[in-house]
Amino acid sequence: MPSVIENPEPLNPEFSPKQLQHRITVLKQLSQYFNSTGQTIHLHGPQGSGKTAVTQNLAQQIDRTTVTAPCTRYNTEYKALRHISSQLTEQDQGTGHHTSDLIRIIEKQLPHQEPVIILDDIEHLLLNADDSLLYQLSRITNREHLTLITTSHQPITELSLEERTQSSLHPRTESLEPYTAEQTYQILAERARDSLKTRSLRREALTYISATTQNLTAALTWLKTAAENTDNVITENHVQHHRKNAYLQYSKHLLKDYTQHHLLTLQSITQLLDQHNTSTVRSGEVYQQYQSLCETRKIEPLTERQISTHLKQLETLQLIQSQYHYGGSKGKTREITANTF
DNA sequence: CATCCACCGGAAATGTTGGGAC
DNA sequence: GTCCCAACATTTCCGGTGGATG
């Protein structure tokens, strides 16, 4: 099938343009902090507001070794330390070390590399583990040779950090506002220009997307999905038509570091919501639906306890929202809503 | 006031993977 | 090979919650 896409890269949500639009002030502010090493910076803002793009852009500007650890993938202290030490030494550190060994390896590299370490989306790490990684890194020997950047959608004060970690980190903080509809439109338009055939995109299609969501990751996925499914012109109608499918693609993108069971759990929720037209489902129903999905696919289902943790992770990814009842007329359960555009 | 609902979520046990040492 | 060990995902077990109902 002929496609309207000439160059797929600019539509990739991970694509990092050389010039970052609408984030100049933050970039200026942050790059000032790079005049000296030994800093800690925490950047927070909603999903798709450019946190990752900003940190990557900063890293490109300065001439220092940079290690990025997306905490969705490196979601334990050990995985993160292993990744960081492997990147710094340029050889895989494997398993079987004590965390203190990995810290020592990193320590030794700091003085001659003066690296920047970026821990992206730290809430996913904090969900699995305690804040020991942050504490260790904030007090590491040769700390003055390290610049540490953390990002999350919550402000740092709202992450459950121990007192000692909080005070030992004392980061400079910056926050990002979501893009406005106008800004979203502009960014999408620019990416489309670099990616799509000329005259293959209607203005109203972009207006529709950027009015619906200001989460740039989601918006780009939507545009990309629409583009992949046409050989002619992307119209407003076409974009509307692919709304659901695009959100599914976006979910899959967020879940790329997770298991098939996470996706099945999410699908159970959306199916139930579609089926009986209610706005919430309870965790018990979700588990039943999940079990029957597993059965039709000949997959051994996980236990209810484990799916409960998976639900928590979907919530941290902001794919769902939960209202918890710790007893009461409904018993102990949670009522779940799925997010959409 | 007792009992029930419905499952949350902590803790400990178990299973699996993949080292490294002998 | 085989033994031992660490990390981690998952299972097993279960105490606990607070409004509704009789």
The order of strands in the sheet holding A147-152 is: A66-70, A116-120, A147-152, A40-44, A172-175
Helix (H) or strand (E) holding A283: helix A283-296
Q: What is the pLDDT of residue A272?
A: 96
Cβ of A2 less than 7 A from strand B: no
Distance between CA A249 and CA A206 in Å, rounded? 18
- CA A80 to C1' C5, in angstroms, rounded, equals 20
A124-143, pLDDT tens digit by residue? Answer: 999 988 899 999 999 999 99
DSSP per residue over A24-75, as a string?
HHHHHHHHHHTTSSS-EEEEE--TTSSHHHHHHHHHHHS-S-EEEEETTTS-
Q: CB of A281 within 8 A of CB of A272?
A: yes
Give bridge partners of residue A149 from the DSSP assignment.
A41, A118
Residues A215-234 as b or e (16 or more Cβ within 10 Å = b): bbbbbbbbbbbbbbbbeeeb
Percent residues over pLDDT 70 in chain A: 99
Nucleotide at minimal C1' distance from the A94 CA? B19
A62-120, pLDDT tens digit by residue? Answer: 888 999 999 999 999 999 999 999 999 888 877 777 888 888 889 989 998 899 999 99
Cβ of A261 less than 7 A from strand C: yes
Q: CB of A188 within 8 A of CB of A209?
A: yes
| Closest residue to B4 (CA, C1′) | A331
Q: What is the pLDDT of residue A1?
A: 53
Cβ of A334 less than 7 A from strand B: yes
Helix (H) or strand (E) holding A270: helix A260-276
- CA A333 to C1' C17, in angstroms, rounded, equals 10
A194-205, pLDDT tens digit by residue? Answer: 999 888 899 999
Cβ of A96 less than 7 A from strand B: yes
Give the Cα-Cα-Cα angle A309, A313, A319 (nearest 5 degrees).
Answer: 130
- CA A287 to C1' C21, in angstroms, rounded, equals 27
Distance between CA A77 and CA A129 in Å, rounded? 7
Residue A210 confidence class, pLDDT cut points 50, 70, 90: very high
Cβ of A283 less than 7 A from strand B: yes
Cβ of A77 less than 7 A from strand C: yes
Q: What is the pLDDT of residue A2?
A: 58
- CA A94 to C1' C1, in angstroms, rounded, equals 22
Residue A4 confidence class, pLDDT cut points 50, 70, 90: confident
Cβ of A94 less than 7 A from strand C: no
Cβ of A95 less than 7 A from strand C: yes
Mean pLDDT computed over A1-29: 87
Cβ of A328 less than 7 A from strand C: yes
Q: Which nucleotides of B are covered by protein (CB under 7 A)?
A: 5-11, 17-20
Mean pLDDT computed over A283-293: 96
Q: What is the pLDDT of residue A231?
A: 82
Residue A265 confidence class, pLDDT cut points 50, 70, 90: very high
pTM of the model: 0.93
